[in-house]
Chains A and B, each alone.
Chain A
């Protein structure tokens, strides 16, 4: 049962600056429609951080932003899933966690892969 872990740190101001500069094209590169519907600016910074952690854990190519979707549940928990079938079938279990302290956002992704046959 191979286990993969990924961690990422993002600061809110840096994310905001990139967002201001890159505008809509920046947003479209990173987030799915559901994410854009559900999240405020700061929450999007957290989602970015989380996706980065997942990409690191799975060693996905770095254009995989839109293959990962997150869904914010009513209790505030963000649940992560994969839009493409190839990645989705590789994963047995996945959990993520996000934390904030002032400017800093930190996220961790822990993933258990399917046993290779």
Chain B
């Protein structure tokens, strides 16, 4: 049990000091901070705030996607006693300004991307990209923990109800909530987690960040989040668990099923699923080995919350040996109310109420909770506070049922709130307000309608101008947030809506009537199918047109008026929501909606370079030692009798700081192995990999293993295609992250004439994006030594005559990140040409 936030942070950083705490995938590289480094920043925040005239009790607003700097700022502010106001980075401009006006922060902390938003809004802006370098300069300062009732954070509820509700979270709330969840949710140290839910949400801030931090987890953040980057991260970092919204479970599953279909393994898939329920978890993992491999090989659980979870999907994951842990909570309870655990769980429930939380049910079945984790109210909003917190209890507004063992089933979430499949919430009142502002609308009622794929926003409108209904909805949609868009609507044919005793609209009665209407008429079958149709929904979002007006032969360009901007938006949405990549080139001015469907049907699952991966075994200490021994004892003595290597500028070898890039003039298949490796000092050679053509691995497994064993080769695809290039860069970044140098040929091909070929601009791209120095190596005399045919085939290992090769080592070149790719390429080529 922790007594304070300070104790939690202090103890974890002491206990796990040398272990990695946070990593950020930035470009192709990974930046990692250990617990000790994190602590060092945290202790400097107090003086940093002082220097910038931000006092204890004053507020700062944070707006950024998750990143280590965000996490460190949260904890730094908590130690210093500065109140944080994190805002979901997906919030619209208007609402952000509203939050700022309401809380009157002393400073804003944001990522560069959002800089413009604050022009003329706030003078004091700190950018996360530069923040830690600034904090670093401050002196460490150890301050007392603020009192228990001190305000630690204000979290705004994600909806944009007329008045924003800012939950006021104190130090006592945080400590209580983390202590509560720690009694049932336990992680071994250094569990590798991927954090994709925004840190501005209670679940991620207090669970994903602080609880995991208390267990010494290694938390991974991504610069950009989508289905591709998530799957790549699962693989690259061998992630073990992540917190998700239910929609992500569906998306990942669809992606896997698409693979199964492409590989024509549906039969095996079905069979495996029918056997799995009878097997224990570890055998299920074996049965679905390929699935687990595609998730990085170590994946074991999803923590899931914030929207209703589809039982079918949860069960499918469980059959594949992946645990699903569903929990339930709110900002008002500092994140948690109840949860399932790995040991005790019931699918379809949100688990049992946590220790330390009192609860009761109202007559209508609504759940009320009380405890130290329950906040005292909303910021500057006594009215709403009174409404939601009667007599010190928090009214969750959710209707629940308990089973005999105390597991909670949520029957209805908040009476009116619409919860979209991705967890985003829409408050019908907000949409109605905008609708009713339109002069053509007499009255309207908005609610969530589930047509088979989760709730969508539906509006019933009373109007005397039915022919203008589409126009009205289009106009109103323009003023709504993207997630609030009215996707389905109808004309209410009565004079008024059914009303309750207190004369409020009876939404449930309206919904029931609409459902009956939709199932009653025969044509609606088609209509409903269309409603369910994701492609149409996406097209409707992108084009702003109502989807019933779209026919299969409508063209994207002329009929839906999709220009280049909208076309990319469309492809992006198809990628994000359906997990399919469609080639942009295939969409022409003639493409129709039916064509698009076919393209999606035949599209690739959105995963880059699925087959080509770095052989992990090559990057272990054992392999390193074995490889160097094989080189020293077998390969090099053999080579010595045929090729002598003369080293020029040996002093430059001392300037190499592993890991970095090596570039060389490509004069033959075995040029690096027979010449450059031999002049590298053993310690550098041990930590050096070579980018070699992926054809080696395609030709035969043995060849791949030999190339890996003797020379630490990794597969590199020779291609101009951007996707393939990106795969190459990812692998290079991974090798550097592992702490190895990597040798790359910037020409891409072996020279035909002995002269240096033009460089790929990709060379400059790699040099800049990898953020490491580049050391050039030039080989003279090698080209002349080998027979012509041997230069291109790996079959001929021996030179035509004994001789000698001169290897000239250049000085490592460091590029400022602002150098353009083209410029960097030119500098590299010129250096190579001038090397003597």
Chain A interface residues toward B at CB < 8 A = 10, 14-15, 17-18, 20-30, 32-34, 36-42, 48, 52, 61-63, 65-67, 69, 71-74, 79, 81-86, 88-89
Q: CA separation between A33 and B27, bound complex, in Å?
A: 6
Q: CA separation between A71 and B761, bound complex, in Å?
A: 14
- With both beta carbons as reference points, the residue of chain B lying nearest to A69 in the complex is identified as B821
Contact status B565-A18, CB under 8 Å: yes
Known contacts A38-B818, A85-B760; is A23 also within 8 Å of B765 by CB?
no
Contact status B720-A21, CB under 8 Å: no
Stretch at the interface among B110-118, B432-440, B799-807: B110-118
- With both beta carbons as reference points, the residue of chain B lying nearest to A63 in the complex is identified as B584
Q: CA separation between A48 and B116, bound complex, in Å?
A: 17
Task: Let me know if B575 is at the binding interface, CB within 8 A.
Answer: yes
What are the residues of chain B within 8 A of A89 when measuring CB–CB? 758
Q: CA separation between A1 and B404, bound complex, in Å?
A: 84
Q: How far is the CB of B656 from chain A (nearest CB, A)?
A: 25
Q: Which of A14, A25, A38, A71 contacts B576 (CB 8 A)?
A: A25
Known contacts A21-B482, A85-B758; is A41 also within 8 Å of B720 by CB?
no
Known contacts A25-B226, A63-B585; is A37 also within 8 Å of B565 by CB?
no
CB-defined A-B contacts under 8 Å, sample of 21 = A17-B482, A21-B482, A22-B573, A23-B226, A23-B576, A24-B224, A24-B225, A24-B226, A25-B571, A25-B576, A32-B765, A32-B821, A34-B768, A40-B112, A40-B116, A41-B116, A62-B564, A62-B567, A72-B818, A81-B822, A84-B720
What are the residues of chain B within 8 A of A27 when measuring CB–CB? 224
Contact status A29-B820, CB under 8 Å: no
Task: Let me know if B542 is at the binding interface, CB within 8 A.
Answer: yes
Task: Let me know if B132 is at the binding interface, CB within 8 A.
Answer: no
Contact status B761-A81, CB under 8 Å: yes
How many residue pairs link A and B with beta carbons under 8 A? The number is: 129
Contact status A29-B761, CB under 8 Å: no
- With both beta carbons as reference points, the residue of chain B lying nearest to A67 in the complex is identified as B722
Task: Let me know if B817 is at the binding interface, CB within 8 A.
Answer: yes
Contact status B769-A34, CB under 8 Å: yes
Contact status A30-B576, CB under 8 Å: no
Q: CA separation between A100 and B502, bound complex, in Å?
A: 54
Size of the chain B interface, CB-CB below 8 angstroms: 51
**A-B interface, 8 closest residue pairs, ranked by CB to CB distance from nearest:** A22-B572, A71-B820, A81-B822, A25-B572, A26-B572, A63-B584, A18-B569, A22-B569
Q: CA separation between A61 and B564, bound complex, in Å?
A: 12
Q: CA separation between A38 and B769, bound complex, in Å?
A: 13
Contact status A18-B226, CB under 8 Å: no
- With both beta carbons as reference points, the residue of chain B lying nearest to A42 in the complex is identified as B116
Contact status A40-B115, CB under 8 Å: yes
Q: Which of B564-613 contact A (CB under 8 A)?
A: 564-569, 571-573, 575-576, 583-585
What 0/1 pattern do residues 81 to 92 of B give for CB contact below 8 A with A? 000000000101
Contact status A83-B765, CB under 8 Å: yes
Contact status A10-B565, CB under 8 Å: yes
What are the residues of chain B within 8 A of A61 when measuring CB–CB? 585
Contact status A81-B573, CB under 8 Å: no
Contact status A15-B572, CB under 8 Å: no
What are the residues of chain A within 8 A of B542 when measuring CB–CB? 21
Q: How far is the CB of B585 from chain A (nearest CB, A)?
A: 5
What 0/1 pattern do residues 740 to 770 of B give for CB contact below 8 A with A? 0000000010000000001011100100110
What are the residues of chain A within 8 A of B769 when measuring CB–CB? 33-34
